[in-house]
Homo-oligomer: A and B are copies of this chain.
Amino acid sequence: MRHHIATGEILYQSGSAGAAWRVLAGSIRLDRPTPEGDAAFASLAIRGDVIGAETMLFGVYSFTATALAPCTLMSWPAGEGAPVPASDLLQTLIVTECRAAEVIALRCGQAAERVRRLVMLLAAPGADGGGSARDTLQVTLPPRQDMADITALTLETVSRMVSGLRRSGVLKPLTETGSVSGNRFRLAGSIGESP
């Protein structure tokens, strides 16, 4: 029932058959095929979001879903055969609209601000072993190319901005127990820092 995928893995392809999912942890990028044949970034899904709901009408996915970080997923709705309540669909619709608005906002303003906002959006309350890691936020940053696609910047600019966030102390490298995972960070100052 629960499903796990690693960074870079494709959860489903546009056009293939399948069902909807709820993202329990991690982040997912959705791409849609362009008339020119290649795929363009279309949206972002984070913890709590439902993706692939279009299959309930079409049977096939409209977008391609790729993991931006290790993800935990669950098929949606929970009760397999049962019809989906209208309120659940509405809820999904609203969250989707808001997520879209946030992604659109990620493409406004200067590069440093945009990358910072993306990092904040991806951050989740620290889910480390302890249990009650209260107000510490953590992020697993996606590959730079993906961050660039999302923010409409280039890979190089994103890299520079991430370096800046590290230097300014907003991002502190985090080492998993045992191995060193290069893209995991702890966030200083949870919400609304200096610009």
Contact = CB atoms under 8 A, between A and B. Distances in A.
Interface of A: 30, 32, 35, 40-43, 53-54, 56-58, 62-63, 83-84, 86-87, 89-94, 96-98, 100-101, 103-105, 107-108, 152, 192
Contacts of A30: 101
Q: Which of A30, A90, A96, A97 has the most CB of B within 10 A?
A: A97
How many copies make up the complex? Answer: 2
A86 B88 CA distance: 10
Nearest to A58: B94
Q: Which of A56, A100, A192 has the most CB of B within 10 A?
A: A100
A93 B54 contact: yes
Given A35-B192, A62-B98, A86-B86, A93 B91 contact: no
A56 B89 CA distance: 11
B87 A57 contact: yes
Contacts of A32: 98, 101
Given A54-B93, A104-B107, 5 more contacts: A42-B97, A53-B94, A54-B90, A54-B94, A89-B93
A91 B43 contact: no
A32 to B, nearest CB: 5
A192 to B, nearest CB: 7
Contact of A152 (B63, B87, B91, B107): B107
A145 B108 CA distance: 15
